[in-house]
Amino acid sequence: MTEAVVFDLDGVLLDTEELWDEARRLLAEERGARWPDDAQRVTMGMSSPEWSRYMHDVIGLAESPEEISAEVVRRLEALYRERLPLVPGALDAVGRIGARWPLGIASSSNRPLIDLFLELTGAGETFRATVSSEEVERGKPAPDVYLEAARRLGVDPGSCVAIEDSENGIRSASAAGMRVVAIPNRVFTPSDEALSLADAVPASLDELTPELIESF
């Protein structure tokens, strides 16, 4: 029986995957470094300590990982305040599902960006627990962020349904023992192997309904 539903943020509720890639790429190029073609797939789902360490150690930025992370977050905060990039139907889907179950967020976003999303949408009371992967030991695809979300919600991970879009996110939620609804990211599409871990693969948030979740 489902006791709670946990949403990913980037790619599910916010159309930000390309914004993250652009912010990190531009920062690297401004510092005279090259942003590899596969960097977005490599960093997708990483916690901020992990991807900022990657930018320092692998991409070669001189700033500390903490400084790199803070600068990328600053740029994204400015973009959010200018125009929050909500996925079409995101708040309607949250409302439908939240009317039936307690909700959580398990995100690779930094805490300030999660809180800014809640502030700008007025959804702070809707989500009972929110977790940034910077608050746990390992980012996605490790299960840590989803396990922590279930703990904060006070439910067993096996009684949760996760809403995900990415390869590493699907793997993270599945590894946590949650059932998974995968809405594939349109740009960084998950592999067939990852999608096989999902219990349902709707085309969009419009198809995310209580009836769908109750069907498995």
Residues contacting 102, CB < 8 A, separation 6+:
3, 4, 5, 128, 153, 155
The answer, yes or no, to whether residue 45 has pLDDT greater than 90, is no
CATH 1.10.150.240 corresponds to the domain 17-82: yes
What is the value of pTM for the model shown? 0.93
Considering Cα of 95, then 140, then 42, then 65, what sign does the dihedral take? Answer: positive
Q: Tell me, what DSSP letter sits at residue 132?
A: E
Q: Would residue 8 show up in a list of annotated catalytic residues for this protein? A: yes
The answer, yes or no, to whether residue 188 has pLDDT greater than 90, is no
Delimit the domains of the chain by residue range.
Answer: 4-15+85-214, 17-82
Q: Tell me, what DSSP letter sits at residue 45?
A: T
pLDDT per position as a tens digit, 48-66: 999 999 999 999 999 999 9
Q: Please identify which of the residues 8, 15, 21, 165 carries the catalytic annotation.
A: 8
Q: What's the pLDDT at 209?
A: 98
Q: What's the pLDDT at 74?
A: 96
**What is the C-alpha to C-alpha distance for residues 89 and 204, in angstroms, rounded to an integer?**
9
| SS3 label, residue 119 | helix
Q: What's the pLDDT at 186?
A: 87
pLDDT per position as a tens digit, 122-151: 999 999 999 999 999 999 999 999 999 999
Q: Please identify which of the residues 10, 15, 21, 144 carries the catalytic annotation.
A: 10
Q: Would residue 165 show up in a list of annotated catalytic residues for this protein? A: no
Q: What's the pLDDT at 6?
A: 99
CA angle 210, 215, 216 (to 5 degrees): 115
**What is the C-alpha to C-alpha distance for residues 130 and 114, in angstroms, rounded to an integer?**
8
| Domain 4-15+85-214, CATH among 3.90.1150.10, 3.40.50.300, 1.10.1040.10, 3.40.50.1000 | 3.40.50.1000
